[in-house]
């Protein structure tokens, strides 16, 4: 369980007692990313259910997405903004990496974050009956996307934490994590899990290939961007399906 607690502490702002964290837990933590997605999904479903009877649909949708951001500490939104700034600048590899590493946020980053947040709010508002399924499925799918991107595509900085996580991520761990994620999605949505997995796969491959073509590999910011876009895409897919 040490990998799970490390993953939970890294990907969320849910308090984790220090005594539960192991110094080497972070190395195996990516294998538990789908499980952390399930925890986030359960929190969102519970919050949505508690507020459904006494808040208007629009107010509830805004608060649910706000809770979503709060649970992750804006970690993935920050990555989305940095990635949008870098990829949208239309510069060479080194300049793109420098822009992505810069802590300042540009216009492209703000617009990307605003767009994704608005899509999530509108989707949560429109889903109604499917909200429970979608709010659980999207966070799980987003963390499965990180896992896939981390394992199948190169990490651009050899000295970054991502390269160390990638080195410790074996095929068996990826397969086990994906199997667990598929179980979670199937229990939550039945055969609609296929829809979630297909959307997640398309988003992950499309974004990863574009970034690798541009800068030769992925970064932590790109992982965050993939999570946000995959989550929004899954919500949109449920809106279309309903």
Q: Is the pLDDT of residue 222 over 70?
A: yes
Split at pLDDT 50, 70, 90, the class of 160 is low
pLDDT 10s digits, 143-153 = 999 999 999 99
Alpha helices (H) along the chain: 2-11, 25-28, 33-51, 57-72, 75-88, 93-101, 107-127, 131-152, 161-168, 171-189, 193-215, 220-241
Tell me the average pLDDT across 78-104. Answer: 90
Q: Residue 242 in 3-state DSSP?
A: coil
Backbone angles phi, psi at 13, to 5 degrees: -105, 20
Query: Mean pLDDT in the chain?
Result: 92
Split at pLDDT 50, 70, 90, the class of 20 is confident
Q: Is the pLDDT of residue 171 over 70?
A: yes
- Determine the Cα–Cα distance for residues 239 and 242; give it in Å rounded to an integer: 5
- Determine the Cα–Cα distance for residues 233 and 119; give it in Å rounded to an integer: 9
- Determine the Cα–Cα distance for residues 95 and 86; give it in Å rounded to an integer: 8
Angle, CA 99 vertex, CA 72 and CA 90 arms, to 5°: 115
pLDDT 10s digits, 173-206 = 999 999 999 999 999 999 999 999 999 999 999 9
Tell me the average pLDDT across 139-165. Answer: 86
pLDDT 10s digits, 56-83 = 999 999 999 999 999 999 999 999 999 9
The ranges assigned to domains in the chain are 2-241
Cross-strand partners of 155: 218
| Helix H or strand E encompassing 73 | none
- Determine the Cα–Cα distance for residues 112 and 117; give it in Å rounded to an integer: 9
Split at pLDDT 50, 70, 90, the class of 14 is very high
How much is the pTM?
Answer: 0.94
Tell which wins on pLDDT, 88 or 163: 88
Least confident interval from 14-18, 127-131, 237-241: 127-131
The number of angstroms, rounded, from the C-alpha of 136 to the middle of its chain's C-alpha atoms is 12
Tell me the average pLDDT across 209-224. Answer: 94
Cross-strand partners of 218: 155
Tell me the average pLDDT across 202-213. Answer: 96
Give me the pLDDT at residue 52, please: 87
31 DSSP 8-state letter: G
Question: 68, 64, 66, 8: which is closest to 34 by C-alpha?
Answer: 8
- The share of the chain scoring above pLDDT 90, in percent, equals 74
């Amino acid at each position: 369980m040490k990998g799970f607690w490390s993953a939970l502490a890294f990907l969320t702002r849910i308090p984790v007692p220090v005594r539960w964290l192991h110094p080497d837990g972070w190395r195996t933590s990516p294998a538990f990313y789908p499980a952390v997605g399930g925890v986030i999904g359960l929190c969102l479903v519970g919050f949505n259910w508690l507020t459904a009877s006494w808040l208007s649909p629009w107010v509830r949708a805004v608060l649910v997405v706000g809770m979503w951001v709060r649970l992750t500490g804006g970690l993935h939104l920050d990555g989305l903004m940095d990635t949008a700034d870098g990829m949208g600048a239309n510069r060479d590899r080194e300049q793109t990496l420098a822009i992505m590493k810069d802590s300042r946020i540009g216009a492209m980053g703000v617009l990307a974050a605003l767009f994704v947040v608005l899509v999530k709010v509108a989707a949560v508002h429109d889903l109604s009956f499917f909200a429970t399924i979608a709010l659980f499925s999207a966070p799980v799918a987003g963390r499965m996307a990180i896992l896939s991107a981390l394992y199948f595509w190169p990490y651009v900085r050899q000295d970054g934490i991502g390269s160390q996580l990638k080195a410790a991520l074996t095929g068996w761990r990826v397969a086990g994590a994906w199997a667990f994620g598929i179980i979670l999605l199937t229990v939550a949505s039945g055969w609609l899990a296929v829809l979630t997995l297909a959307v997640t796969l398309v988003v992950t491959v499309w974004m990863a290939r574009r970034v690798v073509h541009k800068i030769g590999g992925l970064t932590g910011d790109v992982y965050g961007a993939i999570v946000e876009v995959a989550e929004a895409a899954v919500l949109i897919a449920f809106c279309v399906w309903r």
